[in-house]
Amino acid sequence: MEITRENFRAIIFYNFGRGLSQQQCVDEIHSTFGDEAPSKATVYRWFNEFNRGRRLLKDEFKEGRPKSVVLPETIDAVSELIMEDCHVTYSEIEASLGISYTSVYKILHEHLDVKKICSRWIPHN
């Protein structure tokens, strides 16, 4: 049986509510779950969160940049740029879409499977 983070957080919250100390909670979880148990630092961090008044066990939504820009929308945008101008360069794609060189490379060679031949993007066969 696989136990999720939220399950462990619920166990930690339960032990917090019972009035156990952080170390007692760590000892209880490690004796029950062994290697699957969260680390001591994780238990201590969650005890501190609960002391500050947190009651939600799920991860909070974090705004920011997505982990990867290689998304279907970006792939389609790069494809359109190539179709409009087959002489387009990496630098021009980077500048127009605001993505990195490595992302452009990955999209062109792994997703669109094109090669630059005689300064034109040609589908690779």
pLDDT tens for 35-93 read 899 999 999 999 999 999 999 888 877 777 666 778 889 999 999 999 898 889 889 99
pTM: 0.51
Q: What sections of the chain are H helices per DSSP?
A: 5-18, 22-33, 40-51, 72-84, 90-97, 101-106
For residue 32, tell me if it sits in a domain. yes
For residue 38, tell me if it sits in a domain. yes
For residue 61, tell me if it sits in a domain. no
Between 119 and 42, the more confident residue is 42
Which CATH number goes with the domain that contains 119?
1.10.10
CA distance 50 to 94: 45
Name the residue range of residue 14's domain: 5-51
- Residue 19, phi-psi category: left (phi > 0), alpha (psi -120 to 50), beta (remainder): left
